[in-house]
Amino acid sequence: MQITCLGHAGLHIETRCGTILCDPWKNPAYFDSWFVFPDNSDLDWDRYGKADYLYVSHLHRDHFDPQNLREHVSREATVLLPDFPVPDLRAELEKLGFTRFVVMPSGKEVELNGMRVMVQALQAPVDGPLGDSSLSVGDDTATILDQNDARPIDLEAIQAFGPYDAHFLQFSGAIWWPWAYELPEAAKRSFGAAKRANGLDRATRYAKAIGAKYVIPSAGPPCFLDEELFPFNDLTGDPANTFPDQTVFLDYLRAQGIEGRPFTPGAVLDIDHDHCEVRWPTTTEAAMEPFTGKERYLRAYAARMRERIAADKRSWPAGGIDVLAELKAWFEPLLELAGHIKAGVGGPVLLRLGDGRPIVIDFPAGEVRSYAGETCRYQFTIARPLVERLIADHEVDWVNSLFLSMRFRARRVGPYNEYLYTFFKCLAPDRLMYAEGWYADKGNDEEDIRLGDWVIQHRCPHLRGDLSRFGEISGTTLTCTVHGWQFDLNTGNCLSTDDESHHLRCRPADEVPR
């Protein structure tokens, strides 16, 4: 099997039974905040676009690049479509002219022209933009797992597809926490260090659970080329930076006794059950220059992109938009449908747009109105042109546009509120109703397991992660390392949210249950 790195999560997989193009991201994403690192703009995209199959793992814009798909990918390709509960991915691909689809039943092996393929689709509201997925591929020479951003909570089907020769795995940050929040710098660094450590640890746990011969860092980090965002790049191996690069993860894996391989755009991985070799497009030294001379490389990259960023910024203001009236007409019908989400948010949310006319989304009342001076536990400061663009484009997922851009500021009193960001992902009736149904159907877990000196429920109350695999106890705090949520073992209370539905069933192992 031969696999070419296309940058970030982009792969071109060549088997004896056909070729698969995966997540071909080339153009800047999230209001020109994220760029591919290292730069992949000089690849022969027309060549890779002639693949037999196209796999887009989910709709996040660093995986789904409509411009690149439109310009370079053949409409003759058959789409390997994850079986998501909402049809958004298929609809977006159909808009681009793709007509051939194979719906991949989640966790089920499918044979395609002699090639074994399996897609595992995740379906919780917080997974990607209402869905993420992983891809397993095998032929008679090798078996690989492309996990990209997915955080599967059940690994049995994925493990059964193996054993694996290579595992392509995300390790770096893809979140605005804590940098977009109005916090003291010391607090940001403390939270950032914890986020970085948790991300590396979680990825390593997946690597150990899958047990592939080789782990290849994938799906991150992006780089930030706009001058105001440039400091988010990890230039020095800062332990508080949430965007560590591939070399950091490879060092971390090496310390855990796991063999990894660097992989940069244009590099080719030749792999079979007994052999693994990376062929570089130039020299190894040149291929690794983005890491060994990182600031110099990124400054030159930023200079090449400066005019594009400036031109895109000029296109953001829409003008002539009554933001309050538009958001009222858009959001209030959705709030009528959002019983669980309204209760989960539990209060008004303040939007400051920099024009002296703050807006409140009053979740309990189900209305959007002018700010009346009331206390709001959750506040966002967003430049008005960005909101105008979101309205003009009727962007139904503000997480997959605004929030991942990090071009905003947030403030909150109390813990993270999952329901609030779920609402901003679901600004269309079908999306919202799916999320409401998911929250309504989320049941209890009756099975208990022993972890250390405690007996706890098997599945995390947050998103049902397997705590026997991803639970970690420190003192009397349990951390589910899938998403970093924490629980107080003395009380069962969730420390990451004040929503009582996330209570953990737990007791000391030496305590006789009543």
Please give the angle made by the CA atoms of 434, 427 and 327, to the nearest 5 degrees: 150
Element (H, E) at 69: helix 66-72
- At 443 the pLDDT is 55
> Which is nearest to 250 in space by CA: 227, 217, 289?
217
Alpha carbon of 132 to those of 17, 55, 152, 224: distances in Å? Answer: 26, 12, 9, 24
Give the model's pLDDT for residue 138.
97
The pTM assigned to this predicted structure is 0.87
- pLDDT single digits (tens) 1-16: 999 999 999 999 999 9
Residue 512 clears pLDDT 60, i.e. is over it = no
Q: What is the mean pLDDT of residues 121-149?
A: 91
- Peptide bond preceding 178 in cis form (omega within 30 of 0): yes
| Helix (H) or strand (E) segment spanning residue 19 | strand 18-22
What are the structural domains of the chain? 2-307 (3.60.15.10), 323-421 (3.30.1050.10), 448-508 (2.20.25)
pLDDT at residue number 445: 55
With H, G, I as helix, E, B as strand and everything else as coil, classify residue 144: strand
pLDDT score of 466 more than 80: no
Give the tens place of pLDDT for each residue, 27-59.
999 999 999 999 999 999 999 999 999 999 999
Distance of CA 327 to the CA centre of its chain: 26
Q: Say what the pLDDT of residue 325 is.
A: 97
Distance CA 50, CA 73 (A): 6
408-435 residue pLDDT tens: 999 999 888 999 999 999 999 989 988 8
Which of these, 329, 330, 326, 307, lies nearest to 318 by C-alpha position?
Answer: 326
pLDDT band at 102 (very low <50, low <70, confident <90, very high): very high
Q: Could you tell me how far CA 351 lies from the centroid of its own chain? A: 25
> Which strands, in side-by-side order, build the sheet including 454-457?
448-451, 454-457, 506-508
pLDDT, tens digit, 9 for 90 and up, residues 470-496: 899 999 999 998 778 899 999 999 998
Residue 514: per-residue pLDDT: 40
Give the pLDDT mean for 205-225: 96
